[in-house]
């Protein structure tokens, strides 16, 4: 770290420190472990900064700070898994059906579970107040009502980038000409027909969100907060800050209003020493190593036997060592160069210099960690934004895609040989890593500064875009275009009839005089 950067960080943190210790409520309602990692990174950073933090979440934190109170919803994760009974079927679901299922089957799950939890209800009935509420934006709009309930400012964070759910809170512009819907496998540069399909999907997404999802969230809001000080629609407009799990160096530059802050990589902690067996295994990988993980939702043990064996046969012929997050440690005839464990310290493994490739499902957290450490990827996308993330890796040049339906021994070998055999993939990943690290503050420092900015300025209404006060038709200027089109049509008709009348009078023949009859 340069001396100039050190001085800047010290100055910023000194300014942030002027915010007095505040009472903060963090709500991490999704139940997924990857989502929890992001939410907990924010809440722990706030506690470490001296704030009094209460957290509603599905998992308990190990070694939590003393000023960190937890309300743990123990059954949330188990309930969530019911929606993911066979996740490997998702790649075959068309995008529009995927969106429909998300809004109708999964849409109200997190909000309803959280707001009806007995300990959460007890907290809401306690008469306690908070200075700030921070909630995940993941189909959880009803939970935003906790802010008005506790007389607090509202900050939300997204485990994804700036998608429809966050844009509705801030009115960030996102033209479909170059901003692809997260459910598609497109990136910025789209062909004409890709832009057509992207526009259809994006408008369908908006229609389903507003007609299928938001009415349900509004109903949950009104049930949970019958004496709400502001309406559901008013609370949606009353968001002080939106934190995104993205960064322009990792994805794409976007035009954001001041209350949208990129904090991609907030979950990445300081690299810790590896467990001794992992350290010995990776240190001895003189020809390099491969790390393989399908994330927290997806489990490698759920692979059909033929797909699992395709990987094992390829791995057995490789000179590299493989570290595989595999939940069943009883695999028979496992090659000696493969080490499996049901849980892996992913960030610490990716930081190891001998790791050359990351086989991943394409989740945003793992992808960010891979680029943070400059590692190329082989992506096997299954659902959600994973397809887009993997396509970004392909088109940017730091990864290749291996479709789930195409997992065979030959295709696995070709994908790995392509990334391992061509140095351009590693060089591109390292270049992106350099760009990501070249910034004045870390993701955690950036998030902490802006959250405390909201505290210092009592909600910081000066950050919000005036576009929030416009209706959807006003925001897109459809009313203006409608009036201009009407005026243009009216003027055109007037000119048409005027010219027609003029030509008839000038060029027309005079009427013949009738003959007199004697």
Question: What digits encode the pLDDT tens for the residues 352-395?
Answer: 999 999 999 998 899 999 999 999 999 999 888 888 899 999 99
CA–CA dist 421, 89 (Å, integer) = 32
pLDDT for 511: 52
CA–CA dist 295, 363 (Å, integer) = 7
Q: Which of 112, 159, 169 is nearest to 138 (CA)?
A: 159
CA–CA dist 181, 129 (Å, integer) = 38
pLDDT for 267: 93
- Residues 447, 261 contacting (CB under 8 angstroms): yes
**Helix pair 423-437, 364-372: axis angle to 10 deg:** 90
Which has the higher per-residue pLDDT, 70 or 4? 70
Flag the least confident range among 76-90, 289-303, 382-396, 435-449: 76-90
Through-space distance between the first and last CA atoms of the chain, rounded to whole angstroms: 116
- Residues 325, 293 contacting (CB under 8 angstroms): yes
Question: Is 289's pLDDT higher than 90?
Answer: yes
Question: Is 95's pLDDT higher than 60?
Answer: yes
Rg (CA), the chain: 28
CA–CA dist 452, 181 (Å, integer) = 32
- Residues 154, 135 contacting (CB under 8 angstroms): yes
Average pLDDT over residues 75-88: 72
pLDDT for 132: 98
pLDDT for 513: 56
**Confidence at 183, pLDDT banded by 50, 70, 90:** confident
pLDDT over 90 percentage in the chain? 70
Tell me the torsion sign for CA atoms 496, 502, 507, 509: positive
- Residues 46, 130 contacting (CB under 8 angstroms): no
- Residues 66, 172 contacting (CB under 8 angstroms): no
pLDDT for 287: 95
pLDDT over 70 percentage in the chain? 93
pLDDT for 475: 86
- Compute CA 129 distance to the chain's CA centroid, rounded to the nearest angstrom: 29
pLDDT for 98: 86
- Compute CA 182 distance to the chain's CA centroid, rounded to the nearest angstrom: 9
Q: Which of 169, 181, 182 is nearest to 242 (CA)?
A: 169
Question: Is 428's pLDDT higher than 90?
Answer: yes
Supply 349's token pair.
Answer: 């493994």
- Which CATH code is given to the segment(s) 276-437? 3.40.50.2000
Question: Is 107's pLDDT higher than 90?
Answer: no
Mean of all residue pLDDT scores within the chain: 90
Question: Is 515's pLDDT higher than 70?
Answer: no
CA–CA dist 407, 393 (Å, integer) = 19
Interior/surface letters 361-375, b for 16+ CB within 10 angstroms, e for the rest: bbbbbbbbbbbbbbb
- Residues 79, 31 contacting (CB under 8 angstroms): yes
Q: What CATH superfamily is the domain 20-267+441-469?
A: Glycogen Phosphorylase B; (3.40.50.2000)
CA angle 264, 270, 275 (to 5 degrees): 125
Question: Please, which residues bridge with residue 378 across strands?
Answer: 359, 400
Query: Do the two domains 20-267+441-469 and 276-437 of this chain adopt the same fold?
Result: yes
Average pLDDT over residues 429-440: 96
Per residue in 36-46, pLDDT tens?
Answer: 999 999 999 99
Average pLDDT over residues 161-176: 91
Per residue in 226-271, pLDDT tens?
Answer: 999 999 999 999 999 999 999 999 888 889 999 999 999 999 989 9
**Bridging pattern class, strands 260-262 and 241-244:** parallel
CA distances, 413 to each of 34, 378, 416, 440 (Å)? 29, 11, 5, 41
Give domain limits for the chain: 20-267+441-469, 276-437
CA–CA dist 431, 443 (Å, integer) = 19
pLDDT for 185: 84
Which has the higher per-residue pLDDT, 256 or 160? 256
**Bridging pattern class, strands 52-57 and 68-72:** parallel
**Helix pair 409-421, 305-316: axis angle to 10 deg:** 40
Average pLDDT over residues 309-319: 95
Supply 337's token pair.
Answer: 């160069």
Q: Which pTM value belongs to this model?
A: 0.87
């Amino acid at each position: 770290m340069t001396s100039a950067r050190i001085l800047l960080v010290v100055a910023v943190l000194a300014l942030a420190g002027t915010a007095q210790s505040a009472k903060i409520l963090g709500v991490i309602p999704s139940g997924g472990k990857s989502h929890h990692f992001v939410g907990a990174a924010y809440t722990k950073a706030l506690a470490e900064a001296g704030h009094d933090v209460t957290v509603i979440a599905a998992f308990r934190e190990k070694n939590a700070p003393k000023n960190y109170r937890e309300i743990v919803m123990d059954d949330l994760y188990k309930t969530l898994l019911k929606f993911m009974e066979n996740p490997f079927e998702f790649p075959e679901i068309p995008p529009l059906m995927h969106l429909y299922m998300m809004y109708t089957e999964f849409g109200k799950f997190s909000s309803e579970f959280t707001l009806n939890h007995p300990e959460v209800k007890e907290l809401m009935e306690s008469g306690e107040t908070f200075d700030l509420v921070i909630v995940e934006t993941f189909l959880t709009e009803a939970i935003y009502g906790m802010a008005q309930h506790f007389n607090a400012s509202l900050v939300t964070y997204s485990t994804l980038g700036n998608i429809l759910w966050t844009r509705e809170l801030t009115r960030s512009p996102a033209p479909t000409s170059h901003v692809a819907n997260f459910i598609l496998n497109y990136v910025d540069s789209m062909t004409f027909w890709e832009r057509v399909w992207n526009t259809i999907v994006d408008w369908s997404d908006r229609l389903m969100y507003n007609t299928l999802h938001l009415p349900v969230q509004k109903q949950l809001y009104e049930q949970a907060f019958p004496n709400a000080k502001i309406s559901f629609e008013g609370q949606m407009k009353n968001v002080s800050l939106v934190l995104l799990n993205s960064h322009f160096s990792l994805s794409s530059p976007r035009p954001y209003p001041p209350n949208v802050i990129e904090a991609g990589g907030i979950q990445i902690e300081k690299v810790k020493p590896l467990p001794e067996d992992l350290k010995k295994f990776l240190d001895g990988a003189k020809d390099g190593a491969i790390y393989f993980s399908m994330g927290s939702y997806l489990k490698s043990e759920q692979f059909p036997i033929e797909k699992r064996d395709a990987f094992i046969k390829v791995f057995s012929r490789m000179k590299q060592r493989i570290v595989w997050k595999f939940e069943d440690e009883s695999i028979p005839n496992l090659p000696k160069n493969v080490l499996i464990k049901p849980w892996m310290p992913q960030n610490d493994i990716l930081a190891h210099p001998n790791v050359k490739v990351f086989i991943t499902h394409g989740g945003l957290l793992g992808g960010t960690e891979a680029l943070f450490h400059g590692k190329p990827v082989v992506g096997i996308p299954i659902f959600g934004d994973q397809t887009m993330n993997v396509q970004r890796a392909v088109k940017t040049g730091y990864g290749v895609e291996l479709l789930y339906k195409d997992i065979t021994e030959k295709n696995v070998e070709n994908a790995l040989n392509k990334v391992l055999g061509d140095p351009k993939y590693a060089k591109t990943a390292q270049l992106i890593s350099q760009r990501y690290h070249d910034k004045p503050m870390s993701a955690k420092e950036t998030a902490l500064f802006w959250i405390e900015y909201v505290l210092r300025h009592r909600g910081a209404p000066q950050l919000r875009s005036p576009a929030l006060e416009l209706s959807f038709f006003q925001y897109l200027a459809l009313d203006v275009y409608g009036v201009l089109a009407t005026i243009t049509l009216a003027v055109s008709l007037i000119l048409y009839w005027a010219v027609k009348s003029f030509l008839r009078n000038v060029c027309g023949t005079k009427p013949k005089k009738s003959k007199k009859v004697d």
